[in-house]
Amino acid sequence: MMKQKSVKLIVVFLICLCAGLPVSAAFKLNNSIHKAVPVSFSSLLSPIVFNKLFPLRNKFYSYNSLVQAVQNLAQIKIQIEKRGPFIYKITRFDKHTGKQVVVRQDKDWNEPWAQQKEYTSTIIDYGLFCNHSDQKINQRELAAFFAQAAHETRDGQDGRFNDGLMLKRELDTTNTYVAANVFYPAIAGKRYYGRGPLQLSYNGNYGFASDCIFGDKNKLLADPDLILKDPVIAFETAIYFWMTPQGTKPSAHDVIIGKWKPSAADQAKGWTAGFGMVTNIVNGAIECNHGDALPAMKNRAGYYQHYLQLFGLTDSRKCSCGSMQPFP
């Protein structure tokens, strides 16, 4: 073990020497390499594979930033309690500190009439992102996550599947993406257009993400450009969106790993587990129930098949949402 560490340090010294860096930089680089990558995630995705998946990526989206985001959110769990479909209480658990904080409780939560509503409770453990006991399930989830991110951030030629993670924000920033939201109101002058790997949009999503990631709704509501400034935060918002069910939608995570099981009513809407359902969650209102030839939907599925092939996997489940009713 000591020999392996010594060889590794020598290699790092040689790298720094060739780059003209001081000896002190070698110790810093060695420590960062040793600490940056959790064993579980690095065994799933290496820097070499990451670069192969995104050969034209913006350098903003670095491998180490992704790993750090995974590592940061692995320390967070969220409990979402609801009375009926729209009255929320959200509790955030920090595994590292053991701290538990109610970050949101709607004003009607304790009203007698609200307590008569159907009560549901969901635990979201962000440490379960691509962290199943079956590594093939993790690879399929990562392929699906990357496929959606690649489509949202692409800036190249159709059919090559090499142009993902190129854009940090959507090209048209004239739309403010502001919607009435009592708990996550827009701040005057701020625009909540799509930013980051999954193009987080609308003030409601910015506030919800900020509550879950930071325990403070105002961090992203007040400064949505944090997603453009800090690549770790950018990846954190994408993982948050992937793992967190929104309204009546299941989470993309639960769908792709097979945890979500469609009811008879779901099946009547054409909803089945698989990548097509993930697209319905991400952008179903625009891309689903329009047949199988819609270019945007086909591009997402094409990325998924491309990444599956690079991982040496297949997925027989439905990749299209062409006949799925979108969520209301």
Query: What is the percent of the chain where pLDDT is above 70?
Result: 88
pLDDT of residue 39: 52
Cβ atoms < 10 Å from Cβ of 118: 8
pLDDT of residue 38: 46
The per-residue pLDDT for range 58-94, each reduced to its tens digit, is: 999 999 999 999 999 999 999 999 999 899 999 999 9
Q: Is the pLDDT of residue 98 over 70?
A: yes
Say which range, 36-45, 54-63, 104-113, has the weakest mean pLDDT. 36-45
CB 166 within 8 A of CB 156: yes
Distance CA 45, CA 37 (A): 10
How many helices (H) and strands (E) the chain has is answered by 15, 4
User: 121 pLDDT band (50/70/90 cuts)?
Assistant: very high
Question: Where on the phi/psi map is residue 309: left (φ > 0), alpha (ψ -120 to 50), or beta?
Answer: alpha
User: 43 pLDDT band (50/70/90 cuts)?
Assistant: confident
Mean pLDDT of the chain: 90
Q: Is the pLDDT of residue 234 over 90?
A: yes
Question: Where on the phi/psi map is residue 73: left (φ > 0), alpha (ψ -120 to 50), or beta?
Answer: alpha
Distance CA 322, CA 288 (A): 5
Catalytic residue among 81, 111, 152, 236: 152
Distance CA 186, CA 82 (A): 23
Name the strand (E) or helix (H) holding 18: helix 2-19
CB 148 within 8 A of CB 194: no
Q: CB within 8 A of 325, min separation 6: which ones?
A: 269, 270, 271, 288, 289
Q: CB within 8 A of 44, min separation 6: which ones?
A: 130, 135, 138, 139, 142
The per-residue pLDDT for range 133-156, each reduced to its tens digit, is: 999 999 999 999 999 999 999 999
Distances (CA, A) of 154 to 70, 117, 147: 22, 43, 10
Burial of 185 (0-12, 13-18, 19+ CB in 10 A): middle
* Phi, psi (degrees; rounded to nearest 5) at 220: -90, -30
The residue behind tokens 């993790």 is 138
Distance CA 164, CA 146 (A): 8
pLDDT of residue 139: 97
Q: Report, as an integer, the average pLDDT of 264-275.
A: 96
Query: What is the percent of the chain where pLDDT is above 90?
Result: 84
User: 7 pLDDT band (50/70/90 cuts)?
Assistant: very low
User: 247 pLDDT band (50/70/90 cuts)?
Assistant: confident
Distance CA 311, CA 322 (A): 26
The per-residue pLDDT for range 167-220, each reduced to its tens digit, is: 999 999 999 999 999 999 999 999 999 999 999 999 999 999 999 999 999 999
Q: What is the pTM of this model?
A: 0.87
pLDDT of residue 21: 45
287 is catalytic: no
CB 290 within 8 A of CB 280: no
Q: Is the pLDDT of residue 245 over 80?
A: yes
The residue behind tokens 């692995």 is 74
Domain annotation for the chain: domains and CATH numbers:
42-57+132-166+248-328 (1.10.530.10), 76-127 (no CATH), 168-244 (3.30.20.10)
Instruction: Quickly list DSSP for 239-283.
Output: HHHHHS--TTPPPHHHHHHT-----HHHHHTT--SSHHHHHHHHH
pLDDT of residue 40: 77
